[in-house]
Structures are given as structure tokens and as C-alpha cells.
Amino acid sequence: MNTAPVDPQEFSPWSFWRDADSERQEAQRRRLRALVDGRADRELGAQCFVSDLASVDHDVLRLGDRTYIAAGAYLTGELVTGADCSINAYTVIRGRVTLGDAVRIGAHTSILGFNHSMEPGTPVFRQPLTAQGITIGDDVWIGSHVVILDGVTVGSHSVLAAGAVVTKDVAAGAIVGGNPAKFIRWRVEPASGPASVAAAGLAERVAQFGARARGEAAAILDRTWNEERMLFADRPGAAPTVRAQADAIEIADLLLGAVPPQRQRSEHIALLQGWQNAETGTVAPLGPDGRQLEGLDFSHDDVAYHVLSVGYALELLGSEFPAMLTWVTDATPQRVVDLCESLPWDSDAWTAGHHVDAFGTALLWEKSAGAAVLAGVEEALFGWLLLNADPHTGMWGSATPDRGLLPVVNGFYRASRGTFAQFGVSVPHPERVVDTVLRHAREPRWFSPGARDACNVLDIVHPLWLTRGTGHRAAEVQELATRLLWDALRTWVPDAGFSFREPSPVSQGLVATEPGLQGTEMWLAIVWYLSDLLGISDALGYRPRGVHRPEPAARLGRTRRLDAAPRSGAGLA
């Protein structure tokens, strides 16, 4: 029996490289070399420390300089840390976890970047694991006995009080505690200034808005229902469209938790499914006479967008496309590369991103339905995007002389939404994305009061939300989010909703400033993302579930419905 005393520095190693004698330091160097020997997926920075009494069994392990792991820690999965991180005694870190610089983790904390599926009928231990991953920013203090669950992002400069159970994202600079963890106060307050509002006051305003939107949702749907055509139009006097039906379904689900009352659920499903071409899987737009246009394929802008709008509307209704989307089922890796190469990234990056978004979503639907998608198709799509992202902007494509960064940023939102965000994959160069978005947001042509529209605002807000875990320029992001949120809440029109473009004396009389379903659906999502960036989205009382769902849709345990009819393939009626 070994009765030798345990070196206290195994439990408190922060002074090891200063105080330990040369023999113990050399033994630690051997320990570190053994951990990385022959493993390309392991990398340890300068003056790291890993206790002999810690259990380290990683698929991927990358530790920044001066990061230490104390005795009793149990670590598995994929762990990537910045510099000066401390993983104290008996901490458990499992799954896919990323830490920024200077993250200090108290003893007996559990950071669990994975989860069990728990469908009824099968023992939990026999069900597959899921992993969204956990991202923690810079300069975060995590107290003892904290639990952080899968899918959470913790913003930089935040504090998680001892014993907190963190089940949702933590805003940068916030102090949270309790079970489940709730906001206590700011450690680092959002930037203040003439455009900012105190967090508590804005949260109250957001709560009032959420209640009002829910109370007026039925009136908005009635206003846009075309009784003659028995269809929704974007606004009174406009022709009914495919998108308007989907927008109405999204708004009703978001605010009422129900289907639009103008039809039964089964009738909504039959209408949307009936518009899909059984041979190709396309959903063509409606012409002026209400009939679908013919001869269009997935290269048409509206057909491509209907992959999103109709697909998510059917999902909210508990259904799915009845026919295969041949855009994906007929694809090969080379065809995917050819598609990406053929898109107009330099002249119109928005259009390019639009079609990547649609293809990525078509891929989601086919994988969800269990369709046979050729091996390498998904890898070709993500591989092309990763290899072709501009390391200076973090995005794809080029600015244009007439529109500047607008098509680049808008195209990034579309392309990243349908791929990285939807599949739960980290975007390349996230800090450069933040830099590019903040630079673009200062352009008065698109972001001065009265010039803003739902497309341009959503296309900066979502990338900032998607990269929030970096903590990069967090104060500027929060100041921008506060200003945009305050201005957005002012533009709600009673019983009519939001217009696509902000109303103002300059834009008065434009069709885009009339309230409609598209503007309402998009601005409701914008308000949620802005509120979530500020840590006050709970006050809204709703959370997007359709096209603008914040969770990675590909990782929600989606399975084919047992009552779904067999899907038709190419050539089948």
C-alpha cells in the first residue's frame, strides 16, 4: 500500500512552475509528452499542468498556455481551451466544450456538452447520444458545484454563481445563479449612452410588447385572409402567395401556439403538400390567377425559398413534404461543388447565399425523412464553404461598388443559416464575422432610422447572435442590439403587426412600409434575437420555432412521423 503523501500541488497547481523542484517539473513534462505523443488531435501550450490524479481521455484535447487540470478531474470528448484556464479539483468536462481565455472553473463543477436521447419505449442507455456543444467566452468565473448543460453559450466576462444550474445561454457580462440559473445583476454592464436603455426598463418594455403581440395575433391573421381565394395574402389588397400561407402558420404558432383558425390543421397540410410537384419536389409560386407557375426548377428564387418556408410550415403543422426533393436526392459531391462554384459570389453574394441556404435546408429535410442521400454530399457542401470563407471578413463573396458590404453580409446570413446554424457547426473566422457586421451596421444607407428593413436587420442580428460566444466586441454588440431593439418595438402597428421596412417620413407611401405577414414574421424573430443578445428574451413569452429557430434544427432528434404516408420519389405520382 502506497502511503506517500499526495503533493498538494496536484490539487492546487497554479504555482507549480514557479515553486516545484526540478524533479517534479521534469516528471510533469514527461506526463504532458505522454498525453500528446503520436496524437495529432492533442496539443498543449506552454507551462500547462495536468495532474497525475486526473482522468484525461479525450478524442480532441487542445490546451492554451498556462492552463491546468487539477487532481480528480474527469475529462472526455473534445476540449479546446484558451490560455490561463483553470480546471479545478473534481471537475467533470465531457462532450464538445470550448473555453476562451482565463476561464476559471471551481471544484466539483460539471460541464456536459452532450446529452442522451430519451424517446419512450427504449431504455435510455440504448438510445443515441446527441451533442450540440458548449461554448464559454473569455474571463468567465464558474463557481463550485455549477452544472452547465449541452447547447449553452456563456458570454465573456460573466460569472456563474456557486451551485448554478445553467440550462440556457448567459449574456456577456452577466452574473447568474440558482436552479435554473437566472440573471442577478451585471458584472460588466452593456454600454450606456443616448441610444441605450436600462436593462430592467427594456425588459419590461419587451414583456409588454410580447403580451400585446399575442393579444393582436388573431386580428393580424384576419386582416390578411382573402375570403374569396380562401388563402392568405401578405397584406390586404395583395395577391395570395405560397409564402403568405407559411408566414401565417409561423405567426400563429409563435404567438397563439395553434394553427391559423381560418382552416383546420389537416386542411393547411393538404394545401401545402398539394402544391409540391411529385416528380421533382419543387413548390412553384402562384401566378396572378392563383394557379402555380409551370416549368420552374430549384434555380428559381421563389422555388428555392419555398424549401424553407413550406418545409418549416409543414413541420410546425406536424407534417412534412410528401415527395423527395430531387435537388438533394439526385445530388453528387461533384454537383454540389459545381453548384457552389456557379453561384454569383462576387457580383451578388446574397443570391448565392440564398441558394446555399435552400440547398442546405433541402438536405436537412431529406436526412430527417431518412432518404438516401449520396455519401459525401453534406461534406462537399460544408467543405466548399469552409475552404472558401474569406479570412478577412469571415464571409463569402465580395463587396460591390453600389451596395458595399450589403450583399456579402446578407449572403452570409443566408448561407450560414441553412448550413452552419441549422446543422450546429461552428462558423469559420467568427471574430472576423463580428468585425464585418459591426462595420456594415454603421452604413447609413441601410441602417439610419427609416432606411432599415427586416432583411437587412435580420441579416446582421443573426450573425451577431451566432458568434456571441466569442465575446468579441461584446459591448459594441450589446449597444447596437439595444438601439435596434428599442427602435423596432416602436414600429408595431396595432392589430396589423410590422411592416417590412421601418415607416418614416422619408419612406411614407411605399408598399414596404405597410404592415404585412412577411414583415411581422421577420421582425418578431428579430425582436427575439435582439432580446436574447441582451439576456432578456424570456420576457417576450415566445421563442422562434420555424425558419428562424435558434436551435440547430438538425440536432433536435427529429425522426420520421409514424403516421406519415410513404414519400414519393422522382417519377412517382
Q: Which residues are catalytic?
A: 116
What's the rounded Cα separation, in Å, for the pair 450 and 463? Answer: 22
Neighbours of 320 (CB within 10 A): 19
What phi, psi does 335 have (nearest 5°)? Answer: -65, -35
Packed helices 406-416 and 349-368: angle between N→C axes, nearest 10 degrees:
0
Q: Is 219 helix (H, G, I), strand (E, B) or coil?
A: helix
Identify which of 489, 507, 506 has the alpha carbon closest to the alpha carbon of residue 498.
Answer: 489
Q: Is 407 helix (H, G, I), strand (E, B) or coil?
A: helix
Give, for 518, the enclosing helix (H) or strand (E). helix 517-533
What's the rounded Cα separation, in Å, for the pair 418 and 423? Answer: 8
Q: Within 13 Å and on the Cβ side, how many CA atoms surround 353?
A: 24
How far out from the chain centre does Cα 231 lie?
Answer: 31
Q: Is 376 helix (H, G, I), strand (E, B) or coil?
A: coil
Identify which of 530, 336, 547 has the alpha carbon closest to the alpha carbon of residue 422.
Answer: 547
Q: Which amino acid is at 114?
A: F
What's the rounded Cα separation, in Å, for the pair 395 and 381? Answer: 15
How far out from the chain centre does Cα 475 lie?
Answer: 20
Packed helices 454-466 and 430-440: angle between N→C axes, nearest 10 degrees:
150
What phi, psi does 76 have (nearest 5°)? Answer: -140, 170
What are the cell numbers at 25?
Answer: 517539473
Instruction: Give the burial class of 523: count Cβ atoms within 10 A of its Cβ; 0-12 exposed, 13-18 middle, 19 or more buried.
Output: buried
What's the rounded Cα separation, in Å, for the pair 33 and 37? Answer: 6
DSSP label of 233: B
What's the rounded Cα separation, in Å, for the pair 90 and 144? Answer: 10
